[in-house]
Amino acid sequence: MASPLEQKICHLAEANDQLTYAEFVDAALYDCEHGYYKKSQSRVGKDAETDFYTSYSLGPLFGKLVTEACINLLGEAEASEYNFVEIAAEPEEGILQGIQHPFSKVRILRLGDPIEIDGPAIVFANEWLDAQPFNRIRFREGSWRELGVKSEGTRFEETELPKVSPTAQNYLKRLPNSYSEGYKIDLPTGAESALLDIMTQPWHGLFLTLDYGKTLAELLEICPEGTARAYYRHQQSEELLSRPGEQDLTCHLCWDWIEDILKKQNFINTRLLRQESLFMRYSQETIRSVTESNNSEDKGRLKELLHPAYLGLKFQALHGHRLAPQKDH
C-alpha cells in the first residue's frame, strides 16, 4: 500500500504529467507532514536505526574544533561580538551544546526552517547544502536533456522530460555544448538557491560550511552517472525514487559554482580546503590538547575527523568573510 507521501507525490506527478527531480526531492525531503527532514526521528549516528553519520556524530570534539577554527578565521575581530548561527542542526542538538565558547549568542536553525540572520554573525553549516533539491540532466543525441520523474501506479520511474525546465536551463550555459553520450550531471540547484537566500540577509562576518562536493572539472570527468545518492540504514544506493520520506537524498556540490556565489556577493578571503586541512591549520590548540591527553576515545574521534581515509578527505570546508556595510559620514 502506498504511503501518504507516495500518494501525495503521485497526485502531484499526475497533475503535472511529470515532475522534475527537484520537485520530487523537495517533496521527499521537505513535505510539511511526511518529508524526511520534517519528521521527528533520528537520522544521524552509528546505530542501526539511523541512516548516516557525519563529523557531528563524533561528539563535542567536533564543536571544539569548529569553535577554535572560527575564532582564528575571524582574525583580529572579537568573537564575543558575533552571534554563532548554525544552519541545519539535527533536532534537539547543536555542535556547541555543552562546550564553552566566546560567542555572543548561539542560534540553531533546523533543516527547512526559515532563515533570518542580521548583524555580526558566524554562519556555520555542516552538510546543509548537499541536503537541498537538485535537477538531473543527461547528454543525449547532441544536447543536454532533463530527466524527471513519472508515476506508474504507486511507483515512480525516471523519465526524460519533453523540455528542459527554466531552472535547469540556466545551468546549461555553464556546461560544454557537446559531450559524451549518456553522461549525467546532477545540478545542485537547491544548494545555490539556499545559499543566495542567506546572502539577502543583513548580516556580516564569517561564513563556514563543511560538505562534500567536487570541482566542475571532476563532475565532468569522473562522474558519468551523476553524484545523486540515497542513504537508508547506512546503505548507499542509487534507488533515488524508492521510499520517499524514509531515506536521505543528496548530491555533490559543485564547489566552483558555490565559491563563485560568495565572490559575487563581495565576500573576501574565500578559500576551499579539505576538512583535515581546515582543522590542522586553524584548530591547532584543540588538536594538541587531544594528542597530549590520555583520552583514547577523543584520539580515535580526532583520527576519524582528520585522517584522509575517514572524514578528513571526504569533506571539504569553504569559508569567506562578508564585510560590514560602510556607514555614511
Residue 310 is predicted with a pLDDT of: 84
Using the predicted structure, report yes or no on whether residue 303 has a pLDDT greater than 80: yes
The mean predicted confidence, pLDDT, of the chain is: 93
Using the predicted structure, report yes or no on whether residue 229 has a pLDDT greater than 80: yes
pTM for this predicted structure? 0.94
pLDDT band per the 50, 70, 90 thresholds, residue 6: very high
Task: With respect to residue 196, please indicate whether it lies within any of the assigned structural domains.
Answer: yes
Give backbone dihedrals phi and psi of 4, rounded to 5 degrees, phi first. Answer: -55, -40
Using the predicted structure, report yes or no on whether residue 262 has a pLDDT greater than 80: yes
Task: With respect to residue 328, please indicate whether it lies within any of the assigned structural domains.
Answer: no
Place of cell 562576518: 205
Using the predicted structure, report yes or no on whether residue 227 has a pLDDT greater than 90: yes
Task: With respect to residue 228, please indicate whether it lies within any of the assigned structural domains.
Answer: no
Averaged pLDDT for residues 198-213: 95
If phi > 0 it is left, if psi is from -120 to 50 it is alpha, else beta; for residue 317 that is beta
Task: With respect to residue 246, please indicate whether it lies within any of the assigned structural domains.
Answer: no
Residue 21 is predicted with a pLDDT of: 98
* Chain-centre distance for alpha carbon 176: 25
Task: With respect to residue 105, please indicate whether it lies within any of the assigned structural domains.
Answer: yes
Most confident of 11-20, 54-63, 78-87: 78-87
Task: With respect to residue 26, please indicate whether it lies within any of the assigned structural domains.
Answer: no
Task: With respect to residue 28, please indicate whether it lies within any of the assigned structural domains.
Answer: no
Q: How many distinct structural domains can be found in the chain?
A: 1
Using the predicted structure, report yes or no on whether residue 326 has a pLDDT greater than 90: no
Percent of the chain with pLDDT over 70: 98
Residue 327 is predicted with a pLDDT of: 66
Contacts of range 92-101, beta carbons closer than 8 Å, 24 or more positions apart: 93/56, 95/56, 95/62, 95/63, 95/66, 95/124, 95/126, 96/63, 96/67, 97/60, 97/63, 98/60, 99/60, 99/63, 99/64, 99/67, 101/67
Say how far apart CA 26 and CA 20 lie, in whole Å.
10
pLDDT band per the 50, 70, 90 thresholds, residue 216: very high
Using the predicted structure, report yes or no on whether residue 90 has a pLDDT greater than 80: no
Which domain CATH number covers 259? 3.40.50.12710
* 98-137 residues labelled b (16+ CB within 10 A) or e (exposed): eeebebbeebbbebbeeeebeebbbbbbbbbbbbbbbbbb
Say how far apart CA 122 and CA 92 lie, in whole Å.
20
Residue 153 is predicted with a pLDDT of: 79
CA angle 217, 132, 9 (to 5 degrees): 125
Residue 92 is predicted with a pLDDT of: 65
279: which residues sit within 8 A by CB, 6+ positions away? 65, 69, 286, 287, 305, 306
Domain that holds residue 64: 50-132+188-212+252-322
Using the predicted structure, report yes or no on whether residue 282 has a pLDDT greater than 60: yes
Distances (CA, A) of 205 to 25, 73, 276, 317: 32, 10, 23, 16
H helical segments located in 139-239? 166-172, 189-199, 216-221
Q: What is the per-residue pLDDT across 56-81, written as a single tens digit (0 to 9) for each? A: 788 899 999 999 999 999 999 999 99
* Chain-centre distance for alpha carbon 123: 14
- Range name among 177-186, 261-270, 318-327 with the lowest pLDDT average: 318-327
Q: Which residues are registered as beta bridge partners of 107?
A: 85
Higher pLDDT, 155 or 214: 214
Distances (CA, A) of 69 to 9, 66, 251: 42, 5, 26
Most confident of 55-69, 110-124, 161-175: 161-175
Task: With respect to residue 207, please indicate whether it lies within any of the assigned structural domains.
Answer: yes
Using the predicted structure, report yes or no on whether residue 221 has a pLDDT greater than 90: yes
Using the predicted structure, report yes or no on whether residue 319 has a pLDDT greater than 90: yes
Using the predicted structure, report yes or no on whether residue 224 has a pLDDT greater than 90: yes
Using the predicted structure, report yes or no on whether residue 328 has a pLDDT greater than 60: no
The closest alpha carbon to 5, from 251, 91, 30, belongs to 30
Residue 16 is predicted with a pLDDT of: 86
Q: 284-291 and 60-73 helices cross at what angle (nearest 10)? A: 140
